[in-house]
Structure 1
């Protein structure tokens, strides 16, 4: 049976909750097991995924990154977004692991909430579907 590690940034707890609802619905619907791992912010998501990949105790077939970065008054937003998104892409390629990217980058909390809500953009659900599809492709070529 397939198993996914869902790494969730709980910096914006309400948005993380919305992302997780959408993701869980898709994973449950497909009968995929998952564990949830909470990290303090979006910046910590890639490191947590790499820790799992490098662990000899890891039993995951895929990884799901869920979180949110909202633009503030400084350039911090740009640096965090670039590093988080870039790192997730590098992890997927360099470690050859299926990874779903559900990290929202938004100008406001209202826009982020709309993107996270399963009844609107459903970023969490779409990221879960993406990791499941990548797991299929991985199995097609590498198993």
Structure 2
């Protein structure tokens, strides 16, 4: 979580395994595309930095953050991915819509991960305003897409080790 004391893209104190040979699916929301596009760039950059081949990264867009869970499930049903990264951005508005979407997406992503026994990563920004989203998608607090990709690599590596 990004705070004044922690940057989402600071991985200097953690060991990150190789992503070589691992297959990643990324589903990204088209809603708030300025932010989600930056999250996607960060995620792809990190996956490649740690050895994932471009051919082992499949990116699919969905209309909004609510659709991320369904898309993650469809990807896991269609191919043998080692991890799925879900990228979205929900900004607080004047109604309770924010609460319903955030709750549904967090539960949906968790349920897909448990149903398919595969890492499905929550790379969704849930912010009070657009400025906070920008600061967490490549701004002063780093990039949640970077964090989601590192999490996907680590979880895919853990799953691979435990299957041996």
Given the alignment of the two structures, is residue 15 of structure 1 paired with residue 38 of structure 2, yes or no? Answer: no
What is the deviation of 1:121? 2.6
Task: Show the 5 A alignment for 1:70-89.
Answer: 70-89=91-110
Alignment of 1:91-130 (within 5 A): 91-117=112-138, 120-130=141-151
Q: TM-score, normalised by structure 1?
A: 0.93
- Structure 2 residue runs without a partner (length 5+): 1-20
Distance (Å, rounded) in 2 between the aligned partners of 1:5 and 1:68: 18
Shift of 1:118: 6.1
**CA distance in 2: counterparts of 1:119 and 1:128, whole angstroms:** 19
Cα shift readout 1:56-100 (whole Å, capped 9, x = no counterpart): xx1311100001001111111000000001111111122110122
Measure the CA separation in 1 of the matches of 2:154 and 2:75.
21
SS at match of 1:105: strand
* Structure 2 partner of 1:30: 50
Counterparts of 1:63-74 in structure 2, within 5 Å, are 63-74=84-95
CA contact (8 A) 1:9 1:67 kept: yes
- Report how far residue 42 of structure 1 moved: 0.3
Runs of 4 or more off by more than 3 Å in structure 1?
none
TM-score by length of 2: 0.81
- Equivalenced residues, count: 141
Shift of 1:138: 0.5
* d(CA) in 2 for partners of 1:107, 1:98: 27
Residue ranges of structure 1 left out of the alignment (5+ in a row): none
